[in-house]
Amino acid sequence: MSTFPTYETIATEMVSTHVLKVTLNRPQVGNAINTQTGHDLLDLWNRLTADAGEVRCIVLTGAGEKIFCAGGDLKERNGMTKRQWTLQHELFERMYWTLVDLPVPVIAAVNGHAYAGGLEMALSCDFIYASNAARFALTEVTLGIMPGAGGTQNLPRAIGERRAKEILMTGKPFSAQQASEYGLINAILEPTEVLAEALETAEVIAANAPLSVRQIKKSVRYGGQMELRTAFRFEIEAYNHLIDTEDRMEGVAAFNEKRKANFKGC
């Protein structure tokens, strides 16, 4: 199994051979993101990007029962100079975009409220399962700033421009039911079921051919930024990379032999 350092603000656990659980671990402050959280997450995401090892799927959640992530730690930010604020945000930017670009899929298990940078973090994952008690908001406009970690880009891509503008410009919270109706989250679950359901889905993904999963993630992410014909060619190039793999041959053999495929990621 893959192993990781011990971090100050996040907890990592390999819950099975191929599934990694990452927990934002500052429950006393609503799992708010401080500078150390930025360093911890950036280090972890960089390690996984460089070499994911046995990790084939990640579940990202928050400690506690009520809050996934309250966003940036405003107590730490209180009194920061412009330079300190800018340097911290540049760290956060690198952390978020490294999460977006992770080669392995990441499921957000939103166990409670996801506000501001917390919602932006969930949006940076591949899809979201949420507690029916969770509330969501991008509140930056009420603080004299605006989302700066993908919120104005990922949200309209997920739910459409008009609805996203309303959320961004009002800063008003909305419920899990509304989030589901908007198409923001994939499933609404009882609070006690969110993590278990996300981990179960992660196991399903991890059992599939890991190179195929990675190519699908890349094709959807980057193809969505292209015009259709170029995106189709990009998809075919991604597809062609899988033809000579051992996993492709194993998948076909397993189908014909009526057995479960044993994918090795090569």
Active site residues: 120, 140
Placement of tokens 């990640």 in the chain: 58
- Per DSSP, helices labelled H in the chain are 35-50, 74-77, 82-100, 117-124, 151-159, 161-170, 176-182, 194-207, 210-223, 228-240, 246-256
Task: Write the DSSP symbol of residue 244.
Answer: T
Look at residue 115 and give its three-state secondary structure. Answer: strand
Q: What Rg value do the Cα atoms of the chain yield, rounded?
A: 19
Question: What phi and psi, each to the nearest 5 degrees, are found at residue 184?
Answer: -80, -35
Closest among 220, 213, 224, 157 to 184, alpha carbons compared? 157
Separation between Cα atoms, residue 33 and residue 212, nearest integer Å: 33
- Give the residue from 176, 38, 217 showing the smallest Cα distance to 117: 38
Tokens at residue 155, please?
């949200």
Taking the C-alpha atoms of 202, 204, 209 and 212 in order, what is their torsion angle to the nearest 10 degrees? Answer: -60
How many CA atoms within 13 Å lie on the side-chain side of 97?
8
